[in-house]
Amino acid sequence: MTNKKLAGIWLDTEKAIIAKNHDGQETSEFTVCGTAKHEKQHGNSSENPANNSEITTKTKFFKEIDKMLENTEELYITGPGTVQEELKSYLLDTAQFKNLKISLDTAQQMGENQLLDAVNSHFGL
């Protein structure tokens, strides 16, 4: 067991599954602490409003994730595509997470148990 406050996320453009080993104060074994869904808005036929809407909904999605990461010292992010890099940039641009150590990886669809296995393996637990 470690005293470090660690977290892991599997995410794609639709949802995120968050696992961590702390409740903000105490550390223990990894558990899934929640999920976040990216609520996409449809119906904008004009490119500029559609792009602005996408940026707004993605920021909302990332804010929902960052609320669950409070007090995290190290973060492991995995999933398909490039959304992991976008989340990493978002977090590092946020004052609360500017010193957060973040590791990126790629993985296809994962369930909660697979994420727990991947996070334990990544952190060597």
The three state secondary structure string of the chain is CCCCCEEEEEECCCEEEEEEEECCCCEEEEEEEEEEECCCCCCCCCHHHHHHHHHHHHHHHHHHHHHCCCCCCEEEEECCCCHHHHHHHHHHCCHHHCCCEEEECCCCCCCHHHHHHHHHHHCCC
**Worst-scoring range by mean pLDDT, 37-46, 80-89, 96-105, 111-120?**
37-46
pLDDT in tens, 78-94: 999 899 999 999 999 99
Two tokens, residue 18: 């968050």
Mean pLDDT of 108-123: 95
